[in-house]
């Protein structure tokens, strides 16, 4: 077993919050049917009896890594698997960008506690609610 394989094995046994667990693996092995994978390496399964769909993530479980075509399939908006439908993203759809909240690269607008600068002044188009 390679070093990364050992790390993944121990992570799956000892933690439930980081991604796939042994319970998930056993459930998918018993009831799941593999339907495809996306460009990030996430693998998708379905359970025809219970009409459920599953994803096993590569690395840390981050639902934002599911591409739009697979997202529609996961949420039963379509029954056609994106690999069969040759899904083409709309022009307004942007490629995936990792969620940077809580990191040094997170978005911090001017005036926030963690960014230099001053918050823009209110332009007068907002009036605070008063209970009077």
| 0.75 exceeded by pTM | no
Q: How far apart are CA 22 and CA 11, in angstroms?
A: 10
Confidence of residue 17 (pLDDT cuts 50, 70, 90): low
Average pLDDT, integer, range 127-131: 84
Domain spans of the chain, in order of start: 3-85
Place of tokens 């899904």: 87
Q: Convert the pLDDT of each residue in 35-62 to its tens digit.
A: 999 988 999 999 978 889 999 888 777 8
Contact between residue 76 and residue 53 where contact means Cβ atoms under 8 Å apart:
yes
CA distance 120 to 123: 9
Q: Are 110 and 118 in contact (CB under 8 A)?
A: yes
């Amino acid at each position: 077993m390679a070093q990364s394989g050992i790390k993944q094995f121990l992570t799956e046994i000892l933690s439930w919050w980081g991604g796939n667990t042994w319970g998930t693996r056993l459930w998918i092995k018993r009831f799941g049917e593999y339907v495809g994978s996306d460009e990030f390496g996430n693998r998708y399964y379905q359970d025809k009896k219970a009409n459920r769909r599953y994803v096993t993530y590569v690395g840390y479980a981050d639902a934002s890594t599911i591409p739009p075509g697979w997202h529609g399939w996961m949420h039963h908006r379509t029954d056609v698997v994106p690999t069969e439908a040759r899904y083409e993203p709309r022009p307004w759809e942007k490629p995936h960008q990792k969620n940077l909240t809580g990191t040094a690269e997170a978005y911090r607008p001017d005036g926030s506690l963690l960014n230099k600068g001053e918050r823009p002044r209110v332009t007068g188009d907002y009036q605070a609610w008063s209970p009077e």
